[in-house]
Structure 1
């Protein structure tokens, strides 16, 4: 019986796709968007890849990058990068970013290249770089006198300044981040239980925080001011659109300059200040952790769950609003905005 002829097998040549930095950026961000990460986190990845493009070249093949390239990139971040290129804080004489900020970029780098490694595109060039040692820095806060000076310098007869006054007051009372507070909708305010619910949070966990009577009265008055706008949001521009954090920061800088306060006042300073005042009045650090929603597992695991009633009671007792000398004043309808 004749033997079958030996068959020739086809040879397939593995074609390796070239992934440019721009390709890698789009691929990683698509993955992260599918994971449902917040817009702020996605923006962080975009900033990382923008810097990769800035340091290397958007057409650079990521597979050609090495661990030494990653080290050069991180060294540039720390000592050579000119930060805030498109910001009012831009200073051409300033070089390098803080170790805290550099570690954030390092985290984005490790996570991004881990994805690329899992897809067989390249190796994780950031994996061997250790976390940069961060210098212990004292957290800035505002004093009671500075808070009162800031609040007094706002012209509450003008809508935009009254709105910013309410936003600052609520940030201080709720310990909220600026984006959390400015994203609050009318339906997030519970007048019956005197609370505010943050839906748009940093870690995407919804949380509800009690508010004082002063804050509730101010919110009620603000709602009366904006009743003609058909918007679901609490804090609105003069055009009836949601107030953006960058716009609020700009207004705050102008108010601070007018007040004579010499510190650099930014929205997150209210969160730091509220936390310090809470602890100064002997508030529980466990309750504060829950209010701030700092959910570090190694810390949280050591503490028992704090009941909501305890949170409400301690918030009422230790809110920083209690330390302010002047209570919020209600006013009638305000005139046109100067801004």
Structure 2
């Protein structure tokens, strides 16, 4: 059953435990609203698929979940997306078991199909220089430029940038304090270009925000700038600067990580700067770095890669054809 064919309402035996689980996530485990929404969306999709197959959650077994995974795959979901669905189902059944609403966890032994690891896209240094050297024409563009400089300077996530408050800035030490995933705080250096861009924005910020507003980046109305607005402004700035790819906040974060690793080779330091709990998450950038090195190698080493057309051309220039004694 596709999303467009979902029934309008779920039967109470499926709907009530699901609603209770989402309340549990929000109140007891203190998950963010966004995380709760993701769980609810994924589990509602499963619940709608189960309508007509089972009467309540306790009747779901391994075969149901395996068939559901196959359906998700047929609908075009990749391995990582399916793995996320399975993770939500397992977590939900842990809750149901605790509440006595299920006898086992039917998703424990179901695995998502494997998919190739997608490497994050990055912008090259010259493109980012062009982007960030584009002059601002008005106060709101000063704000935009300060945001983009800061994201690339310190590798901020979109949510970290949007939630940034004035007390987090320390110009004296050239540092920035951010709240990352799981409310983990980390201290980040801020580069000279980003510091200068921030000071230019803060000089005009009082014309938009009143003295009680703590958000560093505010809208024309004086309220905290939303994530969606930041995304839209960056995309607009990229078009204006003539970027050859669509610009988005994570592209700046990925580029920060890749360029830092390419220059320093210090994986642990990049992990700390990005706020990754697991170094395996950071290691994806070593693959990007290797791709860069491989391209340089292919371009530079005389025996790196056969270029048959070039080889044949050189042969014809260095060794012109001569007729054999028989005139052939």
Which TM-score band applies after superposition, normalised by the shorter structure?
A: 0.7 to 0.9
Q: Is the 8 A contact 1:19 1:62 kept in 2?
A: no
Q: Which moved more, 1:64-73 or 1:51-60?
A: 51-60
Asked whether the 8 Å contact 2:43–2:85 carries over to 1, the reply is no
Q: Summarize the alignment of residues 24-103 of structure 1 with structure 2, pairs less than 5 Å apart.
A: 24-33=17-26, 34-57=28-51, 61-80=56-75, 96-103=76-83
Tell me the equivalent position of 1:169. 149
Structure 2 counterpart of 1:21: 14
Higher RCO (CA 8 Å, separation ≥ 6 residues): 1
Structure 1 residue 63: Cα displacement: 2.6
Tell me, which stretches of 5 or more residues in structure 2 are unaligned? 1-10, 283-328
With over 3 angstroms needed to count, the CA separation of the structure-2 counterparts of 1:246 and 1:299, relative to structure 1, is: closer
Contact (CA 8 Å) 2:142, 2:197: kept in 1 or not?
Answer: no
Say whether 1:149 aligns with 2:130: yes
User: Quick one: structure 1 residues 160 and 47, their matched pair in 2 at CA, closer, same or farther if it must change by over 3 Å?
Assistant: farther
2:202 aligned with 1:223: yes
SS class of match (2:93) = helix
Partners of 1:113 and 1:297 lie apart in 2 by 29
Q: Which runs of 5+ in 1 are unaligned?
A: 1-17, 81-95, 301-339
Contact 2:268/2:279, CA 8 A, preserved across alignment: no
Per the TM alignment, residue 298 of structure 1 is displaced from its structure 2 partner at its CA by: 8.2
Q: Distance in 1 between matches of 2:222 and 2:14?
A: 40
Q: Once superposed, what is the RMSD of the aligned Cα atoms?
A: 2.6
2: CA distance, partners of 1:57 / 1:152: 56
Shift in Å, 1:263: 2.6
Q: Which has the higher helix share?
A: 2
Alpha-carbon distance in 2 for matches of 1:241, 1:20 = 42
- Alignment partners' CA distance in 2, 1:130 and 1:116: 21
Per-residue deviation, residues 121-167 of structure 1 (Å, max 9, x unmatched) = 123221121244231223210011221333355x6122333322211
Residues 216-251 of structure 1: CA deviation (Å, up to 9, x unaligned): 222222222221412110011111111111122122
3-state SS of paired residue (2:181): coil
1:134 maps onto 2:111 in alignment: no
Question: How many Å apart are 1:56 and its aligned residue?
Answer: 4.0
The answer to whether structure 1 residue 266 and structure 2 residue 222 are counterparts is no
Aligned residues: 266
TM-score by length of 2: 0.73
State the distance in 1 between where 2:226 and 2:55 align: 36
Aligned residue in 2 for 1:159: 139
Corresponding position of 1:195? 175
Report the alpha carbon displacement of residue 271 of structure 1 after superposing the two structures with TM: 1.2
> Considering only CA atoms, is the larger Rg found in Structure 1 or Structure 2?
2
- Distance across 2 between alignment mates of 1:147 and 1:76: 42
2:324 paired residue number:
none
Which residue of the partner structure matches residue 239 of structure 2?
257
Specify the SS of the correspondent of 1:198: strand
- Relative to the length of structure 1, the TM-score reads 0.71
